[in-house]
Structure 1
Amino acid sequence: MKAVIGDTVIAEAPQEDLIKIEGNWYFPPTSVNHELLEKSPTPYHCPWKGDCQYFTVSANGQQYQDRAFSYPNILPGAEKRVGKDFSNYVTFWKEVQFVD
């Protein structure tokens, strides 16, 4: 599966390596092109996952603020709830499309 904006691939991994949480596909950190991501100061805290790290995505000559996010340090119990450690896995939204 790929995460793309236009013709720019931001992340790519076999679907079996991804984790689906609350309808979002999370990509393993090694499958993400981190050169396209810049940490954002936008704060968010999920009561069961922990503190979120947002990223601005650079693609097609544009900046897409807060279109990627991850949970660097998941809370105790989150791994058990999901069935796998998803620390630093990255997911995307809005303009980012998921394609097989």
Structure 2
Amino acid sequence: MPRAEWNGEVIAESDIYETVEGNVYFPPESIKREYFVESPHTTTCSWKGEASYYTLSVNGKTNTNAAWYYPNPKPAAQNITGYIAFWRGVKVK
């Protein structure tokens, strides 16, 4: 079962997930919402669409824009609608 960890805490864990371009995308219900803060940051992928971001706040530390998701992806990426992926030091095992 994949799980995401950062700053000593498990922040997401699920038997259900999608893997795209080497990134594990967790369903929204699998994240521990208390660690996630909406970010105004966005990026655009040519085939997935516009990504929105979360900043992580765990045990007094902040990891800016460390999680992203596609709220309304393009048709080719519909399987990851709302699913969350990580970078910037978040370990996914």
TM-score strictly above 0.5: yes
**Structure 1 residue aligned with 2:4:** 3
Q: Describe how 1:37-48 pairs up with structure 2 within 5 A.
A: 37-48=36-47
Maintained 8 Å contact 2:43/2:51: yes
- Structure 1 alignment gaps of length 5 or more: 80-84
**Structure 1 residue aligned with 2:84:** 90
Mark the structure with the bigger radius of gyration: 1
Equivalent pairs, count: 92
User: What one-letter code is carried by the residue in structure 2 that aligns with 1:8?
Assistant: E
Maintained 8 Å contact 2:67/2:85: yes
Q: Percent same amino acid at aligned positions?
A: 38
- Structure 2 alignment gaps of length 5 or more: none
Q: Deviations over 1:4-50 (max 9, x none)?
A: 01321110112xx1111011000011101122111111121111111
**Structure 2 residue aligned with 1:68:** 67
> Following the alignment from structure 2 to structure 1, what is the Cα–Cα distance between the partners of residues 42 and 10?
26
State the TM-score, normalizing by the size of structure 2.
Answer: 0.91
User: What one-letter code is carried by the residue in structure 2 that aligns with 1:5?
Assistant: W
State the TM-score, normalizing by the size of structure 1.
Answer: 0.85
Structure with greater strand share of residues: 2
